[in-house]
Structure 1
Amino acid sequence: MQNKKFLPSITLCFDRDLWSVRADLSMATQTIHFVTWNVNGLKRNRDEKFQKLQNADVVFFQETHIGEQDEHIIEGLKNEWHVFYTKFTSQKGTAILIKKRLDFECISDEKDNCGAYVVLKCKLEGELYTLVSVYNHETDTKTLEQLSRYLQSMTTGLLVIGGDFNTVLNPFIDKDNSKGVTDRPNHRKLRSCVNKFMKSLQLIDIWRRKNPVKPEYTFHGQVASRLDYFFVPEECMWRVRSCKIRDSKMRDHRPVYLEINNVSTTLFQRDAQIQAIFQWLNLKKDLLADETGSSLGEESSHAVSEVDIMSAVQSLQVSDTPRPDGIPVSFYKDNIQYLIPYIKTLYDRIHRGAFNCSEKHFNKTVKSPHDENQHFFNVDYLIIANILTKRLDDFLESQSKGLVPKNSVSVMITPKTFCAEMRLSCIKGKIEEQKWSNPTLYQDFLIVKNLLRDAPEAETESVEAPIERDKLLDQGCPLTPVLITLALKCFASALAGRLKQNDILVFKESVILCIQPEDLEEVIAAVRNRDDEVYYIKELYKGNVDVKQLKCLGNECDGR
């Protein structure tokens, strides 16, 4: 459809309060207890294993080892559990079990023919969920890509993914390096697959977010490692109450426990639905007003591509999340082919400096009634923020040299507070470096500054010599994690700049600084003296580290 064909149809007046948010605060928050566990077969010690699950409401199993002749093992569970499972294949089998004491309604279930996953769409205690149990076999580099495409289109409600992914996300802290055992090549390939999977759905490694510097492992084999994870989308992290790794007193894998707040935050309509694009466009008419004469559909040389827009929209999760304008993700996903001209025009206006996001209230948020730290943005804001996030991610990925000095000491630097006010001057130098070598990235940074909300004005701010306002890094904004990582990278670069040999490896929300042993005390002191309330610093190990292994990390680990 051409732009001019539907633009003249913008005739109806739209009530800004058509959509409202209702939070049922009268009912106490209910917690649902999840467990993900690679049980290494249900044929042995089944009863003993289920003793560990007495308080669980939802269980994700991996390596069930249930074949055609073993269905009696599952049948014996059906008195207490709703069971959805795959039969034994080369992937060893997965399952999802729902305790029958829960108010449960199955909407649909999807089982991988090779046994790598079970996807269950359902209602638990009246709320929508998409539950995924995954066993990513150590030789499988295709399943997560296929699963990602499916979940981008088919997820409803809260997406909860649990499973054994057979790789560590940060080899410096997610495995025991004291024995000097290197990553196997297939594990490095899997790490890249898992990182891409997480990016595609904006997933968070819940346990690591809750435990930024703690080394703890779920697998105790030749090398103790953290291979088992729970993931939820970044925007849904506020629903998480706790996440713990527990000792099963058995060999092999440990279970991971997750508590989710089963709160009701429901969108409802006071009047008629948005049934046509022109109604939506009429709602956005203030954003489209442009005194410079640019009209919808006109593109500048810096126009964002349709590929970028589609990728950003696909990564958004469909859930009952409140929005300032009340328009859900599902509307954008269903109508994106018609909304692309609007997104392009909006991006172009922000890029040209013709659109002030704060003055137009484009970066306005709704706070969660259950967690005041969580902010929800309009979907058009999220689309543009996601596009810029990917570009900054790609820039950070390209920065790692992948050359680690011999006999190096490794320290990890990570923020103590995930979301906070941020002085953009701390990353301005790194961005200024790109002004001539990478002007597109430099322009992207100017858009980022426009998108972020201003921090409250300081009482001591001088009227005669105003300083640049700090920006708010909101939980729920896609830009927050990558800006934190960029700030960490700049901080580590400043620390390491005067040292003889160093390298900085970038991971999600943390950096690893590899330095010579004689420089360790100086670096630790610099971190503690300069930003004691801002950063954690943790010495990981020192001595003759396997250089071949670490060289691989810089190139294989894309860090996000």
Structure 2
Amino acid sequence: MGRETKETKENRKTRHKMVVVGPHVSIITLNVDGLNSPIKRHRVAGWIKEQDPTICCLQETHLSPKDKHRLRVKGWRTILQANNEQKKAGVAILISDKVDFKAKQIKKDKEGQYIMIKGTLHQEDITLINIYAPNTGAPKFVKQLLIELKEDINNNTIIVGDLNTPLTPMDRTSRQKINKEIIELNEKLDQMDLIDIYRTLHPKTAGYTFFSSGHGTFSRIDHILGTKANINKYKRVEIISSIFSDHNAIKLEVNYRKKQRKVQKCGD
């Protein structure tokens, strides 16, 4: 059989590496609380590079359609945005150059409250919806948006963003009961087989993403929602502090095991 050549050994190592890494995807979401200051943009870009997510979703960018060139991060060339003429709201999705992403369809809101992209990531279908819900009537807004996008939502959908809504009493320090609108939103999520990934993976942990100085309360109003069908793919979800915004970020790690097995067979 002879000894393994250096090249064969390297190829085997590379194949093994592909199997171990597989199509591992990390999605991060953060309300940045405005990006019109050049210093702030620089800090956010540095933070994104440090976190190194596959996909980065931002809310409240406050950029107008003319300003969208301002949101540039080296290594994340694919930037999709929905912006408002009045520099209010604003959402953006940045996709890393390291991944094979192909966009097939984009829906965006002229008010800059949401953007939806459908495409493939590592040949897997993905639908990503990034939402910034308004401060008033947020649960109603999110519920209505889910109804409008119902045809687009499937097992490969991940919904992220600042929903301005604590979904359970555990999601805020005041432990208030949740109101009728939030109950109705939860019912709609349930009907659509959507789950709050953080609460599903951390059923007893009260993690917070926002501090209200007016009320003196902490709450988790930023969320990552996924489908029950994909529960085994959601490997890890955590809250990450950010020092340049009044919100903290949430990071989700997704693993596509099926693809890993395919890669392994090719490498055998």
> TM-score, with normalisation over the residues of structure 2?
0.78
Q: How does 1:520-535 map to 2 (within 5 A)?
A: none
The corresponding residue for 1:46 is: 41
Matched, 1:99 2:99: no
Is contact 1:59–1:98 with CA below 8 Å preserved after alignment? yes
Q: 1:165 is matched by which residue type in structure 2?
A: L
CA distance, structure 1, for counterparts of residue 243 and residue 148 of structure 2: 36
Which of 190, 195, 206 matches 1:199?
A: 190
Which of 24, 31, 49 matches 1:31?
A: 24
Q: 2:82 is matched by which residue type in structure 1?
A: T
Q: How does 1:167-182 map to 2 (within 5 A)?
A: 167-171=165-169, 173-177=170-174
Distance change in 2, residues 1:169/1:132 (3 Å): same
CA distance, structure 1, for counterparts of residue 240 and residue 89 of structure 2: 23
Q: Displacement, 1:106? A: 0.5
The corresponding residue for 2:221 is: 227
The corresponding residue for 1:532 is: none
The corresponding residue for 1:59 is: 56
Q: Displacement, 1:109? A: 0.5
Matched, 1:248 2:246: no
Distance change in 2, residues 1:190/1:253 (3 Å): farther
Is contact 1:144–1:193 with CA below 8 Å preserved after alignment? no
Structure 2 stretches lacking a partner, 5+ long: 1-17, 260-268
Distance change in 2, residues 1:138/1:231 (3 Å): same
Matched, 1:84 2:77: no
CA distance, structure 1, for counterparts of residue 76 and residue 245 of structure 2: 26
Q: Deviations over 1:401-459 (max 9, x none)?
A: xxxxxxxxxxxxxxxxxxxxxxxxxxxxxxxxxxxxxxxxxxxxxxxxxxxxxxxxxxx
Distance change in 2, residues 1:109/1:41 (3 Å): same
Identical positions, percent: 28
- The structure carrying a bigger strand percent of its residues is 2
Q: Displacement, 1:92? A: 0.6
Structure 1 counterpart SS, 2:151: helix
Is contact 2:63–2:88 with CA below 8 Å preserved after alignment? no
CA distance, structure 2, for counterparts of residue 115 and residue 198 of structure 1: 23
CA distance, structure 1, for counterparts of residue 88 and residue 245 of structure 2: 20
Q: 1:170 is matched by which residue type in structure 2?
A: T
Q: Deviations over 1:343-387 (max 9, x none)?
A: xxxxxxxxxxxxxxxxxxxxxxxxxxxxxxxxxxxxxxxxxxxxx
Q: How does 1:103-114 map to 2 (within 5 A)?
A: 103-114=100-111
Q: Displacement, 1:140? A: 3.6
Q: Displacement, 1:125? A: 1.3
Distance change in 2, residues 1:232/1:107 (3 Å): same
Structure 2 counterpart SS, 1:52: helix
Q: Deviations over 1:120-173 (max 9, x none)?
A: 0011111110001011112245532343234431235611111111121122x2
The corresponding residue for 1:152 is: 150
Is contact 1:161–1:231 with CA below 8 Å preserved after alignment? yes
Q: Displacement, 1:175? A: 1.3
Is contact 2:62–2:87 with CA below 8 Å preserved after alignment? no
Is contact 1:90–1:114 with CA below 8 Å preserved after alignment? no
CA distance, structure 2, for counterparts of residue 127 and residue 234 of structure 1: 17
CA distance, structure 1, for counterparts of residue 27 and residue 130 of structure 2: 11
Q: Displacement, 1:188? A: 3.4
Is contact 1:137–1:166 with CA below 8 Å preserved after alignment? yes
Distance change in 2, residues 1:234/1:77 (3 Å): same
Q: Displacement, 1:103? A: 0.6
Q: 1:36 is matched by which residue type in structure 2?
A: T
Structure 2 counterpart SS, 1:245: strand
Q: 2:204 is matched by which residue type in structure 1?
A: V
Structure 1 counterpart SS, 2:48: coil
**Equivalent pairs, count:** 233
CA distance, structure 2, for counterparts of residue 107 and residue 155 of structure 1: 15
CA distance, structure 2, for counterparts of residue 56 and residue 66 of structure 1: 22
Distance change in 2, residues 1:192/1:135 (3 Å): farther
Distance change in 2, residues 1:104/1:96 (3 Å): same
The corresponding residue for 2:204 is: 213
The corresponding residue for 2:232 is: 238
CA distance, structure 2, for counterparts of residue 261 and residue 69 of structure 1: 37
CA distance, structure 1, for counterparts of residue 43 and residue 87 of structure 2: 26
Q: 1:199 is matched by which residue type in structure 2?
A: D
Q: 1:50 is matched by which residue type in structure 2?
A: A
Distance change in 2, residues 1:177/1:150 (3 Å): closer
Which of structures 1 and 2 has the bigger CA Rg? 1
The corresponding residue for 1:439 is: none
Q: How does 1:98-497 map to 2 (within 5 A)?
A: 98-140=95-137, 142-155=140-153, 158-171=156-169, 173-177=170-174, 188=179, 190-222=181-213, 223-264=217-258
The corresponding residue for 1:295 is: none
Distance change in 2, residues 1:68/1:129 (3 Å): closer
Q: Displacement, 1:58? A: 0.3
Is contact 2:195–2:225 with CA below 8 Å preserved after alignment? yes
Q: Which has the higher contact order (CA 8 A, sep 6+)?
A: 2
Q: Deviations over 1:303-360 (max 9, x none)?
A: xxxxxxxxxxxxxxxxxxxxxxxxxxxxxxxxxxxxxxxxxxxxxxxxxxxxxxxxxx
